[in-house]
Structure 1
């Protein structure tokens, strides 16, 4: 399959993949009762790309994101992030990877209710022991990036759902990660707010030079993504199978 992307040559350097997923399997349980959530998933994401991961509920999207993010280990196969094989890291190494190189955005926002927007953005930097003044400056810069300069001192309960998700995006960028992983980031938002969040993610990938892997049912993100990968029953769907069956493409690389 010929693959082209909208990522530019100068952003992707020598076009080396930033993320490699190789024949990843993940099973839960054993024997006849085993559940095979992932069945030999393979794909690559180049630096500076936004990749949308689509599929029905139960197709393996969240399991795959957990494996890519170092929150879970594959039963077989390998995940490489910018040349680092996650299977070679111990728990301390995985913790450092998640803290320093990966930013997470969750469907439920995941903000700490008693902290202000700026303080929530600053949490990942606290874990890295970034000095207070530097942390505060970075938090305000990121809130400006996501259009929330005037809401830095408000707590999550004082913000709309879309504003809370913008704070979550800013928090994901706090430690200048290589990769942003987002699991259904518009799942609790109305369609217009969801479009705004998707456009924000697209803009952030461009402006900050990060790579993003986003699980979504939202067709808006698929329109904005550089690459769309579909999972079906724990496998990457093959467009050739769809073409033979006379249906739409199942996995698209644009």
Structure 2
């Protein structure tokens, strides 16, 4: 692709040790991701998908190799700079939604902006815009327990976009949803990548969702390769 990559991953290696045993989670993993791309990371449970996303998102550090996101070398940043990167540049979506039960949908979406000390008027306007973007403008005052699984994930996606991130990291975002709702969520992510101009890395084991990606990276026993897109 033309232009500069938003994400550069070079030679990532991660080893987990349990007593005398070693498990190699990532083996010399390298790839690039460009602005406006939706990349699916496919692999079985335990293949290294989550480990890879955690390295790219700055949630964990590799044993070797480096990650660069938006010109910043994530793997070399001190903790305070990592916190700022995760707050301002990277948005996260998880399988478990991660919403705060006592807060309404609107309040959940506003949390990252509160942490960033965004002015109240600007924050409230952005919350309204994001809830409309994910089709939940009429559910702003409902709490998570009053929403379906698909609606809760939509709130989580809206929250991940609150601070206008350049990279969206989504770890099995459809894992707790039925197949139809899961596809709707993946289609929403694809639409948001286009409209917001972000790059998205989405880990999934669902073959029905792979066709919605621009590229597919397949990981097996910690080794990454680019896979051919399947026909829908």
Q: Please indicate the TM-score interval, normalised by the length of the shorter structure.
A: over 0.9
Alignment pair present for 1:101 and 2:77: no
Dislocated runs of 4+, deviation >3 Å:
none
* CA drift at 1:203: 0.3
Aligned counterparts of 2:8 and 2:137: Cα–Cα separation in 1:
36
Please show how residues 104-143 of structure 1 align to structure 2 within 5 Å.
104-143=92-131
Please show how residues 1-254 of structure 1 align to structure 2 within 5 Å.
14-29=2-17, 32-237=20-225, 251-252=227-228
Aligned counterparts of 1:214 and 1:221: Cα–Cα separation in 2:
10
Aligned 8 A contact 1:20 1:44 in 2: yes
Q: Deviations over 1:136-189 (max 9, x none)?
A: 110110000000010000000000000000000000000000100000000000
Aligned 8 A contact 1:146 1:166 in 2: yes
* CA drift at 1:100: 0.5
Aligned 8 A contact 1:229 1:253 in 2: no
Gaps of 5+ in 1: 5-13, 239-250
* CA drift at 1:16: 1.5
Aligned 8 A contact 2:211 2:229 in 1: no
Gaps of 5+ in 2: none
Aligned counterparts of 1:164 and 1:87: Cα–Cα separation in 2:
32
Aligned 8 A contact 2:210 2:229 in 1: no
* CA drift at 1:226: 0.5
| CA distance 1:80–1:252, shift in 2 (3 Å) | farther
Partner of 2:157: helix, strand, or coil? helix
Partner of 1:237: helix, strand, or coil? strand
Aligned 8 A contact 1:102 1:181 in 2: yes
Q: TM-score, normalised by structure 1?
A: 0.87
Larger radius of gyration: 1
Aligned counterparts of 2:135 and 2:225: Cα–Cα separation in 1:
37
Aligned 8 A contact 1:184 1:216 in 2: yes
| CA distance 1:131–1:211, shift in 2 (3 Å) | same
Aligned 8 A contact 1:111 1:168 in 2: yes
Aligned counterparts of 2:60 and 2:79: Cα–Cα separation in 1:
11
Aligned 8 A contact 1:198 1:220 in 2: no
Q: Which of 217-226 and 163-172 deviates more?
A: 217-226
